[in-house]
Structure 1
Amino acid sequence: MTIVVTGATGHLGRLAIESLLAKGVPASEIVGLGRQVDKIADLGITTKQVSYDDVDALTAAFTGADKVLFISGSEVGQRIQQHTNVVEAAKKAGVGLVVYTSAPKADTTDMQLAAEHLATERLLADSGLPHVILRNSWYTENYNVPQAIEHGLFGAARDGRIAGAPRVDYAEAAAAVLVGEGHAGKVYELGGESFTLAELAAEISRQSGKPVTYTDLPEDKYVDLLVGVGVPRAVAEVLADSDRAASRGALDVPRTDLEALIGRPATPLADAVRAQLA
C-alpha cells in the first residue's frame, strides 16, 4: 500500500507522517509532498518536491497511490484553484481514497475561512472519488502562549467556546483513518476540550505564575490591532471574522469524533499549555 501526504513539510503533515510510522506503516510505503522536502528528509520516507499549483506534477506523484492525505493549502484566496488541481490530479491518477482536512461545520457556518473548504468538499463530492472529510477545529498552537505571557491575549471571540486540540491529535486522527477501513463517505467533526479565550488566559496565568488577561475587542478594532503588529489586512480580517464566528459557536464541536478516532481522550487544555511553556 502507498500513502501520499500532501503538505508534508508543514507542522500537521510531518506529525501525520510520524503517526503513520508509529502505527507501523513502513517508511517505504509513505510519500511526502511539499515545497521544502529537506524538512522531512530525516523521516526516511520518499519525498517529492511538488506544489499545489502544478497539476501535472501532482498527477505524477499520485500515480500508484492507494490513499492520499490531502492537507488543505495555507494560501487563503488561492486555495480553490490549488485544491481543484489536487482533486483533478487525484482523479486522473485513480487514487483509491482521499482524506481531506477541512474546517469545522463547513457546510453550515458563515465563517469566511470555511468557504474555500466547503468548495473543496463539493469538488471532492463531484469528482466521484472515495473520500473522507476531517473537519478540524482550532489548533491550540494557534494561540502563542509565551507571547500571551508577555503581551496578554487579545481577540474578538467574546465568551464563545473553542473546541481546540494540539496538532498531534488531529494528525493521529488522520493517520487512524488512513490505516483503517470503512471511513469512505464519512464526515468527522473534530475538536478537543472546549474553552473560552478568558479560560485560556486564566490557564496560562495559572501555569506561568504571571498575570495574563484576555482583552475582547470589537471585530474592527481587532483587525486594526493585528494590522498594527504586521499582519496583512486581508489575513487580519479573516482572523477577526473567525473570532466573530467563534463567538456564535462556530468552533465549538463535540470531542466525540476525535476521541473515537484516536482511541484516547483529547489532549487537555492544561497539557497543551504546558507543552508550549516547555
Structure 2
Amino acid sequence: MAQRCILVTGASSGIGAATARALAGPGTALALHARGNREGAEQTAQEVRGRGAEAVVLLADLREAGAPERLVERAAGALGGLDVLVSNAGFADRTPVAELTDEAFARSQDTILWALFRLARAAGPLLAAGRAPRLVAVSSFVAHNFRTDSTVFPASATAKAGVEALVKALALEWAPAVTVNAVVPGYTRKDAGAHAALDARAWEAVIARIPMHRLGEPEDVARAIAFLASEGAGYITGQCLHVDGGVVV
C-alpha cells in the first residue's frame, strides 16, 4: 500500500501535470483527474510511473451534479485512501462584465469554486483519517489584480477569490487534523498548443510588468504545491502563497 495517496484535479496538462510529477515518487499513488483529455492524463500517468509512483486516470466533468463527490469516492477506492487533495482544475475567462452571460459566469463558479467546495466536503472525512493530510487549492493572481494597465478577468477573479476565502474557512474548521492552503500563481506559461487567454503581443506587455521579467513555469507553481502538500508543512494552514514573480506585492 502506498504511503501517500493523492488526488490531483486538472492533471492532464500545465500546473496539474507538473504537480503530479513533483509529487510522484516511490511510496506515492496518484489519482489523476481530467475533464475529457484522457490522452494528456495518460501521458502524465506514464511520467508519474516513471518516477516510481502508482497512477490511475479518472475522467469527470466537475460541473455535473454529483461528479466531484463521485471523483473523490473513486480516487479513494482506487488508491486505498486519501491523504492529499490538490484542487487545480479551472480555466481563465477575461470576458468583461457587460458581456458576461449568466451561463458563462456560472461556468467559472461551477468549475472552480463550487468544485472545490464539493470536493472538500466529500474528501474531508477521508483526509482526516489520512496520513499528514493536506488540501491545496490553486487560486490565481487575477483575484488580486485590478489595474487599468492589465487585463481583468471578472468571472475568474470572482471564483478564485471565493477559493481563497473557502481555504481560510476550511483551515479553521479542519484544524488541527488537516492543513488547508492555496497557491496563487501569476502569469504562467501554457503547454504548447494549449488555449491561452492572451495573444503574443499581450504576453510581451505582460512580461514587461513582471518584476522577475519572465513568465512563471508550471514547475515553479508545482514545487510550491508539493511543499504545502508535504509532511514537512504541517504547521502551515490557512495561507495563500503567491508564486507570481512579484506581480502581486
Structure-2 residue corresponding to 1:73: 90
Summarize deviations over 1:36-85 as a string: whole Å, max 9, x none.
24232313232131422303312314542111121142363532332332
Partner SS, residue 19 of structure 1: helix
Change in CA separation of 1:116 and 1:160 when aligned onto 2, cut-off 3 Å: farther
Partner Cα separation in structure 2 for residue 185 and residue 162 of structure 1: 26
* 1:166 matched to 2:217: yes
Asked whether the equivalents of residues 181 and 238 of structure 2 are also in contact (C-alpha less than 8 Å), the reply is yes
**Deviation, structure 1 residue 92:** 4.5
Residue-by-residue CA offset, 1:218-252 (whole Å, 9 max, x unaligned) = xxxxxxxxxxxxxxxxxxxxxxxxxxxxxxxxxx1
Aligned to 2:94: none
Match of 1:98, SS state, is: strand
Q: What secondary structure, in the 3-state scheme, does the structure 1 residue paired with 2:141 have?
A: coil
1:173–1:126 distance in 2 versus 1, CA, 3 Å: closer
Aligned partners of 2:32 and 2:56 also within 8 Å: yes
CA separation of 1:31 and 1:124: change in aligned 2, threshold 3 A: same
Distance apart, 1:98 and its partner CA: 0.6
Structure 1 residue identity aligned to 2:88: I
For residues 207 and 15 of structure 2, the distance between their equivalents in structure 1, rounded to whole angstroms, comes to 28
Over residues 259-278 of structure 1, what are the superposed CA-to-partner deviations in whole Å (9 max), with x where a residue is unaligned?
Answer: xxxxxxxxxxxxxxxxxxxx
Letter in 1 for 2:16: G
CA distance in 2, matches of 1:124, 1:109: 19
Alignment of 1:151-230 (within 5 A): 153-154=201-202, 161-162=209-210, 164-179=215-230, 180-181=232-233, 182-192=235-245
1:41 and 2:45 aligned: yes
Aligned-partner residue type, residue 186 of structure 2: S
Three-state SS of the structure 2 residue aligned to 1:58 is helix
Q: Which moved more, 1:172-181 or 1:30-39?
A: 30-39
- Please, which runs of 5 or more residues in structure 2 have no aligned partner? 92-106, 147-151, 194-198
SS at match of 2:238: coil
Residue 101 (1) aligns with residue 138 (2): yes
Query: Which residue in the other structure is 1:227 paired with?
Result: none
1:116 paired residue number: 159
- Using the alignment, how far apart are the partners of 2:200 and 2:185 within structure 1? 26
Match of 2:182 among 128, 133, 138: 133
2:136–2:180 CA contact under 8 A, matched in 1 = yes
Deviation at 1:90, TM superposition (A): 2.1
* SS of structure 1 residue aligned to 2:12: coil
- Counterpart contact for 2:168–2:181, Cα < 8 Å: no
What code does the residue aligned with 1:183 have?
I
User: Structure 1 unaligned runs (5+)?
Assistant: 145-150, 195-251, 255-278
Shift of 1:176: 2.1
Q: SS of 2:90's equivalent?
A: coil
Q: Following TM superposition, by how much is the alpha carbon of 1:114 offset from its aligned partner in structure 2, in angstroms?
A: 1.7
Deviation per CA, 1:148-188: give whole Å up to 9, x if none: xxx96147968972353111111122112222323322221
Q: Are 1:253 and 2:243 counterparts? A: no
Cα offset, 1:124, TM superposition:
3.2
Identical amino acids, percent of aligned pairs: 18
- What is the root-mean-square deviation of aligned Cα atoms in Å? 3.3
Question: AA paired with 1:66?
Answer: D
Q: Say if 1:175 and 1:153 are closer, same or farther in 2 by CA, change over 3 A.
A: same
Q: TM-score, normalised by structure 1?
A: 0.56
Match of 1:2 in 2: 5
Q: Aligned partner of 1:104: which letter?
A: F
Distance 1:2 1:143, change over 3 A: closer
Larger Rg, first or second structure (1 or 2): 1
In 1, the alpha carbon distance for the partners of 2:26 and 2:89 equals 24
Would the alpha carbon gap of residues 62 and 49 (structure 1) be closer, same or farther in structure 2, given more than 3 Å must change? Answer: closer
Residue aligning to 1:87: 120
- Between the aligned partners of 1:139 and 1:6, the Cα distance in structure 2 is 18
Q: In structure 2, what residue type is equivalent to 1:119?
A: G
